[in-house]
Each structure stands twice: as structure tokens, then as C-alpha cells.
Amino acid sequence: MQILWGLALFIVAGVFEIGGGWLVWQTLREGKPWSWALLGSVMLLLYGVIPTFQVSHFGRIYAVYGGFFIALSLLWGWWCDGNRPDLWDVAGGAIALVGVLLIMYGPRGATAPFVEL
């Protein structure tokens, strides 16, 4: 259940960040009303709050969110702007999602390899 909750939070955060950014973009680049930018700004503010409900630490959550952001951005561009992802977009998004799985759910503890920096 914790995995589903975490996944839901990543998706909601992604919708708020990408949607908020898209609304501001539409205002500044496409001449949409300023109310769109205001709504987008509120969404971006809420995006900053949503990840705090995740169970892991800041660095891991934001690294994992970066992978989700890549995939969700491509989907958003396809659904909202009609920019269908090509092979390289899909391949890059898939690689990012594999990275997400490794970072978030890779084995932890005494038996996991440790990298010293």
C-alpha cells in the first residue's frame, strides 16, 4: 500500500508541476489570459508541498521525481499539445523510469553495496 501511496504522490506532484508550468507557458508564450498564469503559480506552489508527504528523504524523493518528470512531461506534451513522443523520447523516458525504480526501491541495509564518495 505504501508503494501505491508513493506512486500516487509522484503522479499528483507531476501533474501540479507540469500543469502549473504549462499554464504559465501558455500565458507568456501563447497569449492566454493572466488567470491561467495565476492558476499555474498556485499549482506550482502546491507542487512544492506535495512531495513532503513522501516517506523517504529529500534527495531521494527529488531524484526519483526527476525521472517521473521526464516521462510525465512527454505524456503531457502529447496529450495537451499534440507532440507525439518519438522513439528516442520513449527510450529516454523508459531509462529514466528504470532509474526511478533503482533509486526508490533498490535493496537497502547492511547487505546492499555502499559507495563512498
Alpha-carbon torsion, ordered 42, 82, 77, 39, to 10 deg: 0
Dump pLDDT digits (tens) for 72-108.
999 999 999 999 999 999 999 999 999 998 998 888 7
**Separation CA 10–CA 71 (nearest Å):** 12
Dump pLDDT digits (tens) for 10-67.
999 999 999 999 999 999 999 999 999 999 999 999 999 999 999 888 999 999 999 9
17: CB partners within 8 A, 6+ apart: 43, 44, 47, 69
* pTM (two decimals): 0.80
